[in-house]
Amino acid sequence: MLGKFWEVAGGKLAERWAGISAHALVFWVAGLAAWTYHHGGLSALAAPSDWLGQQKPAVQALTVLALLVAVVTSGAAVDSVTGQALRLLAGYWPTWAGRLRRRRVRTRLRRADSDKAPWQQAQARVRASDVSADDLAAYAVLERRRRRCPSTAAYFMPTVTGNILRAAERRPADKYGLDAVVVWPHLWLLLPETAQAELRAAMKALNTAVRAAIWGVAFCSFTVLTWYALPVGLAVVLIAACVVIPARAQAFGELFEAAFDLYRVALYHQLRWPLPANPEQESTVGRQLTTYLWRGSDRPTPSFTSPST
């Protein structure tokens, strides 16, 4: 029993460290290439190789081990700040950046407001009997941009990624009255393993993209060796921050929303809370359930349902 446990735990740990170290290895190999270029080409590697070849096997092994430890340690260091980096990319900035944050939020709000009239017009054309392919394409673009923003101005964030994640976080409240911040820990425990695995995979993909952006920033430090490092590093950062991270945040947000769509009834059953009778009633009942989970209640209503229900 314990042997199986350690086998599984060791496999998971090895898989995690391999994922963390992959970007680190690419980074240091690219850094070595920059150093080699700075020192005149591949011939610069001859002296270190000759030195290593002249050492005793124990020294060679320790040298290789030290290099591997450096790679893994740097990967772990980047992994430890991935969460904070994602928060920054989402727009949770420090207090001293408050003015910039407010300005960026106002810009995002203006862009969202400018899409309202075209979206309404596109929606009307789509509902018409003679809708064209161009009308459908225009509506799809506007609808996608609309879903990437919260429905209420107060919840807007200063970045694209932040608005995508905030919009997904707020949709359960908009549709069902369930505040995701309060309800999610409880709902997560009721999700089947397949749903949890999908959500973990989506978050892992998002974190991987964030780590790539961090490594891109770090790669710019090799500019002291070659100027090529600056455009390459900036290109990695821009592609990750402007394309890959928002796309993966969107994928995670859709799964997050789907978890509420499909499994919120399990939450009602587990808490013995009466199910809403119809969609109109669900928003009110969902807000009551959110309040109950957040603060509790000593009111005589609603009555708990039977455990077998």
CA distance 99 to 104: 9
Q: What is the pLDDT of residue 135?
A: 83
What mean pLDDT is predicted for residues 47-69? Answer: 78
Q: What is the pLDDT of residue 23?
A: 82
DSSP track, 240-257: IIIIIHHHHHHHHHHHHH
| The residue count for the chain | 309
What mean pLDDT is predicted for residues 287-308? Answer: 88
**217-240 tens-digit pLDDT:** 999 999 998 888 999 999 999 999
What mean pLDDT is predicted for residues 261-266? Answer: 96
What mean pLDDT is predicted for residues 252-259? Answer: 96
Q: What is the pLDDT of residue 282?
A: 94
pTM value > 0.75 = yes
Query: Which residues neighbour 34 within 8 Å (Cβ) at sequence distance 6 or greater?
Result: 222, 225, 226, 228, 229
Q: What is the pLDDT of residue 292?
A: 94
